Structure 1
C-alpha cells in the first residue's frame, strides 16, 4: 500500500502518523489481525497483561498467537493501541469494517513522539537511505536529509577519489549491479545509484585534476594538478566544507523550528544563533584576508550577535546563578572552537585527494621506469601498472569511503539533528494453521 505523500514537501518530511485504536469482536479477532498483518501499515502495541499460558510463552509460538494473547479484552471485544500512516488509515478501516473491526483515530498523547516513516521514492532515495539509517532514525518532526546527505557524500568521496579511470570502474560496477550482476549478492543490487554517483563524482574530479589511472597524460588538468598545487587544493577542500556546513545549518534551523518553536530555532547552537556565529567567523576570515575593514567589522557584529543569542539560550537551559554563567561561557567557547575545528576538518578532502594522486604518481613512475628499459621489463611495467592500480583503487576506495562518512556524521549531521527518532515498524504477523482454522 502506498503511504507516501504526493508533493515535494511531503516527500521531504516523514509521513504523517495517527495514533489509533484497533478494536475487534472476540470472535472476529483472528480475521481482523490477519487483515492488519497483511496490510503491513499498523504498528501494534500490546496493551493486555502478559499471558501465563505456556503455549503462548513458548519460543516456538507465532507472533500472531502472541499478539492475539496480548489484547485488552472488555465486554466481548479485543483492543490494541498503535500507530498508522494517515494516508493508509481510511483505506484499512474500510477493509476491516466488513470483518467487524474498527481502526479509530485517537488524540496524540502529550510528549509522545510518533514513529518515523520516511516517504522515500525512487531508486536513488532507497540507495542513499543507509547513510541516514546507519546514523539513526530521523526524528518525526525533522525533514528527511537523505537526498542531500547522498549528494554531499558522493561529492566528498569524489574529491578524495579523484581519478577518471578509477571513477569509470565504479560506473562499470554500478552498471553491473543495475543489470542484476552478480546474482550471488542480491542485497547490493539496489545500491547501484549510490555507486554510480560516487563513480560519476570521481570521474569528474579526475577530469578536473588530469588524473586517469594516475598522471598518465591522457587527460589534461582542467582545473589543477593536485601534487603541483596542494595549497590551492587545501583551500578548495575547506571551501567545499564551508558550503556543506552552510546547508547543514539551514537544515538545522528548519528542524529546530519544527521540533520546538521559532524561539528554539533562534537560540539553538545548531539553529540561527550557531549559523550566525559560523557566517560571522567566515566573513571575518574573508575580511582579514582581503584587508577589508568594513567587511571585518560587519562580520564581527554578526558573530557577536550569534554568540549573544546562543549564550541566552544556553543560559536559560543551564538554569540560573554563577554555575549557569560559567557553564554558558564554557559552552560558547566550545561552540567557537568546534566551528573552526569542523571547518578545518574538511581539509582532509584535499589531503586524501593528494594521497590518491601521490599513489597514482608512484605507480606511474614505476610503470614508465620499467617500460623504458624494454625487453621483458615491458611485462614488468604492465604488472606494476595493473597491480598498483588495483591496490590503489582498493585502498583509496576504503579510505575515501570512511572519511566521507566521518565528515557526514560528525561535521554535518551534528547540526542537522539534535537527537534521533524511532523508526516505524509495522506489525506483519501472519496466522498459523491453527489460527486460520479456529
Structure 2
C-alpha cells in the first residue's frame, strides 16, 4: 500500500476524479467530516428529491443538474454529490489541485495511465510515520476469497501483520472434519458442494461464497470417517483404519489435545512474527503473544511431558524454559504498567491469567474429540435402532428405513451446525487471540460506475 497524491490542473479536476472513481483503487482522504463543509449544489438537489438510498453513478461529462433533477436521475445526482465532496477537499495551489490517499502499489501504473489521458497524474509519496496504511487482503480466486472472509469476520488484520487466510481456512476444515468424522456424511457435503458449484437450485446461489468451505469440510469429514470406520454410523461398510472413537475415547482425546498444542505453538510463532513486524524485535521478545509467550508455552508443555513420561531431566528443562518465558513476559508487563506496588500487583494478576489461559486453551481442544465422540454415538444409536427394527418383518423393514433416513438427517444437521460453530470458536478464541493484538483499518477505495452516454434526451 502506497501513500499517493492525485494531482491535476484545476480545469481537469473533475475528469481526473471521474477516472479515479472508475478505476476504484484509491482511498481518498476526505479532509475532515462531511459536516465540516457546506453541501454542494448536487447534494442539495439530491436531498430535495427525497430519493432515499440509491446506488450513485457518475456522469462521464459535467452534467446539467437542472436536467438531472427534472429527469429524476437521483443516481447521477448522488454520484455528483460524492464527487463534489471530494473536490471540495482538494488542496489548490495556483492552477493545480491535489488530493492525498492510499493506493495498492500494484495499481499505480494502471492508474497513472488512466489519469494521464485527462491531464492528471498520480504521485507516490512517503508513508507518514505513526500512521498505519489501510489493509487490503487480496482475495484472488474463490478459495482465497472464502478463506479471507473467515479472517475478516474476526476483524481487520493490521497492515504490518501476516495474512493468515490460507492457514486459517485449512485449519478450520481440518477441525470440522475431526468433529464430523463420517464418510457417508462427508460425501453428502461433497454432493452439496457440487450442487452449489452447478448453481442449482437457484435459490441456493447466496451460498456460493462458502463453496470452498463445504467442499473442504466434505473431504476432511470423509477422510476422518474412513479413519474411524464410520459410514452413516458404525454400519460395518468401512473398517476402522485408525480407531473406533467409542472404543478408544482416551486415545482420541489425547490426540486432540496434542494436535491443539501443536496449533497453539504455531499460532505463537505467527504471533511472534507479527509482534516483530509491528514494533520490532524487543517487543517480539517480551510480548505474551511473542517469543516469550512461545517459550512459556513450550516450557510448560515440555515439563508436563517430562512428568508424564517420567523423564526428570526433560521436566526440569521444560520448567526452566517456562520460567525464562514467564520472566520475560513479566518484565514486559511491568514496564508497560505504571510501576511501583500497583504495577507489581497488576503484573502478577496478568501473569496468573497468562498461565491459566495456556492450560485452558490447550484443554479446550479436547472438544475435537468430544464432538467426534458425540457424532459417533448418535450414529451408533440410529444404526442399532435400524437393525433392531429390520428384524421385525416387512413392516419393521419399512420402519428401519424411515428411522435410518430420518436419524441420519437429524444427525447430519445437528452435528454440521455444532462442528461448524465449535471449529469457528477454536479458531477465533484460541488461535487468533495469539496472532492479533490490535485491529487494522480496512482499505475502502472510492469506486463508482461511470455513465458515458447522455443522461437526458
The Cα of 1:204 is off from its aligned counterpart by: 0.8
- TM-score scaled to structure 2, two decimals? 0.88
Equivalent residue pairs, number: 421
2:38 is aligned to: 51
The Cα of 1:76 is off from its aligned counterpart by: 4.2
For residues 239-297 of structure 1, the C-alpha deviation after alignment (integer angstroms, 9 at most, x for no partner) is 11111111111110111111110111111000001111110111111000011010001
Choose from 398, 409, 416 the match for 2:428.
409
Q: Does 1:37 align with 2:12?
A: no
Choose from 298, 312, 316 the match for 2:331.
312
2:6 is aligned to: 22
Question: Structure 2: how far apart are the matches of 1:44 and 1:435?
Answer: 27
Question: Structure 2: how far apart are the matches of 1:147 and 1:191?
Answer: 14
Superposition pairs of residues 281-292 of structure 1, within 5 angstroms: 281-292=300-311
Does structure 1 conserve the Cα–Cα contact (< 8 Å) formed by 2:187 and 2:218? yes
Tell me, what secondary structure is at the counterpart of 2:122?
strand
Q: Does 1:326 align with 2:326?
A: no
The Cα of 1:436 is off from its aligned counterpart by: 7.7
Structure 2 spans left out of the alignment, 5+ residues: 48-73
For residues 39-92 of structure 1, the C-alpha deviation after alignment (integer angstroms, 9 at most, x for no partner) is 111111223752234641444542443233332252344332210011111321
For residues 384-430 of structure 1, the C-alpha deviation after alignment (integer angstroms, 9 at most, x for no partner) is 00000000000100000000000000000000111121111111124
For residues 173-225 of structure 1, the C-alpha deviation after alignment (integer angstroms, 9 at most, x for no partner) is 11222223332333322432221110111011111111100010111111111
2:179 is aligned to: 160
Q: Does 1:425 align with 2:444?
A: yes
Tell me, what secondary structure is at the counterpart of 1:118?
coil
Which has the higher mean CA deviation after the structures are superposed, 48-57 or 132-141? 48-57
Tell me, what secondary structure is at the counterpart of 1:132?
helix
Choose from 120, 123, 145 the match for 1:101.
120
Question: Structure 1: how far apart are the matches of 2:435 and 2:252?
Answer: 27
Question: Structure 1: how far apart are the matches of 2:240 and 2:81?
Answer: 67
1:132 is aligned to: 151
Which has the higher mean CA deviation after the structures are superposed, 347-356 or 17-26? 17-26
2:109 is aligned to: 90
The Cα of 1:137 is off from its aligned counterpart by: 1.1
Tell me, what secondary structure is at the counterpart of 1:116?
coil
Q: Does 1:70 align with 2:57?
A: no
Between structure 1 and structure 2, the one with the greater Rg is 2
1:12 is aligned to: none
Change (3 A) 1:126 1:243: same
Structure 1 spans left out of the alignment, 5+ residues: 1-16
Question: Structure 2: how far apart are the matches of 1:374 and 1:236?
Answer: 43
2:362 is aligned to: 343
Does structure 2 conserve the Cα–Cα contact (< 8 Å) formed by 1:51 and 1:69? no
Choose from 210, 216, 223 the match for 1:191.
210
1:3 is aligned to: none
Tell me, what secondary structure is at the counterpart of 2:98?
strand
Q: Does 1:237 align with 2:224?
A: no
Tell me, what secondary structure is at the counterpart of 2:117?
helix
Question: Structure 2: how far apart are the matches of 1:328 and 1:45?
Answer: 41
Superposition pairs of residues 231-380 of structure 1, within 5 angstroms: 231-380=250-399
Tell me, what secondary structure is at the counterpart of 1:99?
coil
